[in-house]
């Protein structure tokens, strides 16, 4: 058995989305961070490695950057987590001409070198300048570019994503399954109540909503129904 596994873009989205939820990421930031990591992976960045490296800190991230005398500070957050905000700011700034941003205190600034495709889909030609002596600082320059309609839906997100959609990604087999199972923590616990697909909502026999109930209360109520049926 090979140590590598090939998996699809859909599986990447599935795992990363659930994993970010399981790690305590703010809900409104899950999809943007996932999409950044997807584009980065499609451009050769090792997104799974970055997720494992930063997993203990994800719950503390807010995705915001703050303007300081030295530049825009990410406050120690991972590059992939602040990237959606950064690209949004550059997109607005580039409306009236070329824009430049110095991003400081960013953990993992190298991810931006893999986000040219991500920026292009959003109407930006992105130039990235990193410094070998300071891996927490990156200079980003952006120019607005047209985003013509693709000839085919598979081309909608650029050549890197087209290749990913057609060929998938390769990953270390153990790492893939490790993250897959870790992402299971985002799921509802497997109980009798969850299998009824009712969540914590209790309904009567006519489908009327009675209110919320926890698992212990549900089992208690079920015991009466079982007794009545005997």
Across 12-21, 72-81, 201-210, least confident range: 201-210
Per-residue pLDDT at 176: 97
Query: Which tokens is 157 given?
Result: 């997100």
The domain spans of the chain are: 4-186, 192-229
Residue 169 pairs with which residues in a beta bridge? 7
CA dihedral 95, 100, 104, 107 (to 10 degrees): 70
Using the structure block, give the residue that is written with the tokens 């970055």. Answer: 50
| CB-based contacts of 13, cutoff 8 Å, min separation 6 | 34, 38
Per-residue pLDDT at 147: 83
139-145 mean pLDDT: 97
| CB-based contacts of 51, cutoff 8 Å, min separation 6 | 16, 19, 37, 179
151-176 mean pLDDT: 94
Q: Give just the sign of the alpha carbon dihedral 130, 66, 63, 89.
A: negative
Longest Cα–Cα distance in the chain = 77
The model's pLDDT over 210-226, given as tens digits with 9 standing for 90+, comes to: 565 555 655 665 665 55
The model's pLDDT over 41-71, given as tens digits with 9 standing for 90+, comes to: 999 999 999 999 999 999 999 999 999 999 9
d(CA 80, CA 123): 19
């Amino acid at each position: 058995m090979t140590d590598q596994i090939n998996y699809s873009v859909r599986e990447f989205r599935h795992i990363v989305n659930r994993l970010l939820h399981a790690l305590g990421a703010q809900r409104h930031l899950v999809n943007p961070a996932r999409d950044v990591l997807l584009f980065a992976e499609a451009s050769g960045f090792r997104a799974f490695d970055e997720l494992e490296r930063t997993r203990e800190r994800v719950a503390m991230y807010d995705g915001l950057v703050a303007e300081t005398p030295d530049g825009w500070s990410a406050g120690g957050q991972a590059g992939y987590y602040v990237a959606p905000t950064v690209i949004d700011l550059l997109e607005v700034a580039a409306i009236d001409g070329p824009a430049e941003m110095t991003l400081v205190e960013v953990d993992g600034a190298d991810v931006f070198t893999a986000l040219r495709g991500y920026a292009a889909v959003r109407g930006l030609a992105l130039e990235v300048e990193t410094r070998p002596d300071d891996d927490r600082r990156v200079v980003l320059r952006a120019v607005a570019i047209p985003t013509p309609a693709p000839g085919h839906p598979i081309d909608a997100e650029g050549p890197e994503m087209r290749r990913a959609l057609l060929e998938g990604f390769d990953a270390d087999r153990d790492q893939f399954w490790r993250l897959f199972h870790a992402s299971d923590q985002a799921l509802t616990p497997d109980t009798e109540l969850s299998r009824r697909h009712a969540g914590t909502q209790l309904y009567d026999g006519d489908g009327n909503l009675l209110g919320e109930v926890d698992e212990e209360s549900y089992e208690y109520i079920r015991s009466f129904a079982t007794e009545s049926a005997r």
